[in-house]
C-alpha cells in the first residue's frame, strides 16, 4: 500500500490518503506500506507534522529493525524539505548499518 500524508492536496490515484501523523504511523505499524509520501505542514503542529512520521520511522529502524518503505517528500516548505531530506538520509544510513550488522 502507498500512503499519502497531506492536509490539502488531493490524494493521487492508487494511494491511501491520511491527514495526521498518527494515522500514517498506525498504517506503518500494521505493515504492508511500500511507499509513503509526506507533507510537512498539516495545519495543526500540536498534532505533529510529516517530520514526526520520519522521526518515528528512524526510531523504529534503530530500535526494532523496522524495514522502512520508500519515502517521498512533497512539502512546499523549503526549510522543512531540507530537514526532512536529512531525516530520509539518516534513515537510509541506519538501514545500511543494520544490513551490514546482519551480514557480519
Domain count, the chain: 1
- pTM here? 0.92
Q: What CATH number is given to the structural domain containing 94?
A: 3.40.50
Sheet (strand 70-73) strand order? 16-18, 2-5, 35-38, 70-73
Q: By the 8 A CB rule, do 39 and 9 touch? A: yes
Task: Quote the domain boundaries for residue 32.
Answer: 2-103
Lowest mean pLDDT among 62-66, 78-82, 83-87, 94-98: 94-98
Rounded Cα gap, residues 69 and 62, in angstroms:
15
Question: pLDDT (tens digit, 9 = 90+) per residue, 11-56?
Answer: 999 999 999 999 999 999 999 999 999 999 999 989 999 999 999 9
Rounded Cα gap, residues 104 and 93, in angstroms:
17
* Rounded percentage of the chain residues whose pLDDT exceeds 90: 88
Amino acid at each position: 500500500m502507498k500512503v499519502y500524508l497531506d492536509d490539502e492536496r488531493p490524494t493521487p490515484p492508487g494511494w491511501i490518503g491520511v491527514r495526521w501523523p498518527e494515522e500514517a504511523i498506525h498504517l506503518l505499524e500494521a505493515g504492508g506500506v511500500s511507499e509513503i509520501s509526506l507533507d510537512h505542514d498539516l495545519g495543526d503542529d500540536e498534532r505533529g507534522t510529516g517530520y514526526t512520521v520520519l522521526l518515528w520511522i528512524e526510531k523504529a529502524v534503530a530500535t526494532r529493525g523496522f524495514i522502512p518503505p520508500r519515502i517521498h517528500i512533497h512539502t512546499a516548505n523549503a526549510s522543512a524539505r531540507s530537514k526532512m531530506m536529512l531525516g530520509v538520509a539518516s534513515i537510509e544510513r541506519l538501514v545500511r548499518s543494520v544490513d551490514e550488522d546482519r551480514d557480519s
